[in-house]
Amino acid sequence: MSVVDDLRGLILAGQYVPGDRLGEAELAETLGVSRTPVREALRRLQAEGLVEIAANRGARVVEYPREDLETIFELRARIEGLAARQAAAVATADDCDRLHRVALDLRDHADRGDVEAVYRLNADFHGDLVRLGGSAVLAQSISSLVHSPVLLRTYGAFDEEAMRRSVNHHIEIAAAVRAGDPEWAEAVMRAHLFSARASLLGPRHQENPR
């Protein structure tokens, strides 16, 4: 693995949490490399949105306020739920076959612990649903909400049970689309995103007592 892969893995595993300073010297010692590849890795991760680098302050893990993350997941549940609903209304047999294959591939990679492949296949699955819906407005709205660092952190926060639940949601969404059932597809998509929110943020009542 490269230095950027190693550092990304440490962040996603929670060894460095949002807001933590990422000192070049300390990282070089931890990773057993010189400071030059660490510096390049930090720039790469800045481009991915996982790291922020500021003059005179150095590098830190990007930190999103909890309120912003709550809003991102709430909006995604509404908009991607609508995308799943529309996809179920128009998908052809070939479309359904592709969705099912991607969902099964995602399950297989999740079973092997390949988070990078799961992230990629998840993007393919959700992108296919948006494409099937055929709405440029929906596609643009979802694109503005899907922050790569948030998604990567979410998968990094999944335990075995959460990952299995996420995988099963994809398979069930594919089944709902094949059944031509918009309500079912929308309901599972919303449950899928709210489950991911819980994995990343924990119980809501701790921050938002009712």
Q: What is the pLDDT of residues 116-131, one digit of tens each?
A: 788 889 989 999 999 9
Residue 209's pLDDT is 46
What pairs with residue 54 in β-bridges?
A: 58
Query: What does each C-alpha distance from 187 to 9, 51, 79, 122 come to in angstroms?
Result: 32, 34, 12, 18
pTM to 2 decimal places:
0.73
Q: Taking 70 as the threshold, does the pLDDT of residue 207 lie above it? A: no
Residue 53 phi, psi dihedral angles, 5° rounding: -120, 125
In tens, the pLDDT along 143-164 reads: 767 765 676 667 777 888 999 9
d(CA 100, CA 94): 10
Residue 208's pLDDT is 52
What does the pLDDT average to over 93-97? 97
Give me 210's structure tokens. 């009712």
d(CA 188, CA 55): 44
First to last CA, the chain: 46
Residue whose C-alpha is closest to residue 4's, from 51, 68, 53, 57:
51
Q: Taking 80 as the threshold, does the pLDDT of residue 94 lie above it? A: yes
